[in-house]
């Protein structure tokens, strides 16, 4: 079920799935009062959320998650910390923990666009250049219908695609990532949700 090791997301998966299990327990109890948010203190992940009326996973999926979290915690080889970026903030936080500065979200990843960006004609729409270029290479080389659909959606959502596509500086094929390393969620017809 979880292929997080292949992309180096084991720490994040452990933290988020462990918190998911805490949320499930809170759902069973009908209150979020006992939830521990310590892992998310320096993030922009909201604490104040309402208890859902029903869970979006089956009991079997919940048990599979519980088994994985238990296995990883028994293995005791992961640090229970979220990865940080040059802002000394959780790498996916749009708001820097120390300064409160808000970054634009990448239209592909949702991660903050900090530097080397691709801008779209719609105001407030941008992408991290490396992610955008990897996505274009993957889309072109795999002919994936899922990636084509994503590209079409982004074009409509962002008022068209950037004129250069951001690949002007790529001068040789050696610099281009392989489709498998570019964006695992768009290779060989695999959906992003299946990458985890």
In this predicted structure, the answer to whether residue 152 has a pLDDT above a threshold of 80 is yes
The pLDDT value given to residue 34 = 81
Q: How is the chain split into domains, by residue range? A: 5-75, 117-195
- Residue 13 phi/psi, 5-degree rounding, is -60, -45
More confident residue, 175 or 98: 98
Q: What is the pLDDT of residues 24-35, one digit of tens each?
A: 988 888 888 888
Nearest 5°: the CA angle 144, 64, 109 is: 35
164 pLDDT band, cuts 50/70/90, is: low
Q: Distance between CA atoms of 116 and 38, rounded to whole angstroms?
A: 32
Q: What is the mean pLDDT of residues 141-162?
A: 95
Determine how many CB atoms are found less than 10 A away from the CB of residue 167.
17
Q: Distance between CA atoms of 33 and 47, rounded to whole angstroms?
A: 11
Token readout for 79 is: 């640090």
Q: What is the pLDDT of residues 33-78, one digit of tens each?
A: 888 888 998 899 988 877 778 888 999 999 999 999 999 999 878 8
Q: What is the mean pLDDT of residues 101-109?
A: 96
Would residue 170 be called left, alpha or beta, if left means φ above 0 and alpha means ψ between -120 and 50 degrees? beta
Q: How many CA atoms lie within 13 A of 35 on its CB side?
A: 26
Q: Give the SS3 label for residue 90.
A: strand
> What global pTM score does this model have?
0.74
The pLDDT value given to residue 1 = 56
């Amino acid at each position: 079920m979880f292929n997080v090791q292949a992309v180096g997301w084991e720490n994040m998966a452990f933290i988020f799935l462990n918190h998911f299990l805490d949320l499930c327990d809170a759902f069973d109890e009908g209150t979020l009062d006992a939830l521990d948010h310590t892992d998310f203190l320096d993030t922009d992940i909201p604490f104040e959320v309402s208890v859902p009326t029903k869970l979006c996973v089956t009991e079997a999926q919940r048990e599979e998650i519980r088994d994985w979290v238990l296995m990883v915690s028994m293995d005791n080889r992961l640090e229970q910390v979220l990865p940080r970026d040059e802002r000394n903030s959780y790498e996916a936080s749009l708001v820097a923990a120390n300064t409160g500065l808000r970054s634009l979200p990448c239209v592909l990843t949702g991660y903050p666009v900090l530097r080397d960006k691709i801008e779209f004609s719609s105001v407030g729409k941008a992408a991290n250049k490396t992610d955008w270029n990897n996505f274009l290479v993957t889309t072109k080389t795999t002919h994936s219908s899922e990636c084509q659909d994503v590209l079409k959606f982004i074009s409509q959502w962002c008022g068209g695609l950037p004129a250069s596509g951001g690949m002007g500086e790529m001068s040789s094929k050696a610099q281009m990532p392989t489709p498998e390393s570019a964006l695992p969620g768009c290779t060989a017809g695999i959906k992003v949700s299946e990458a985890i």
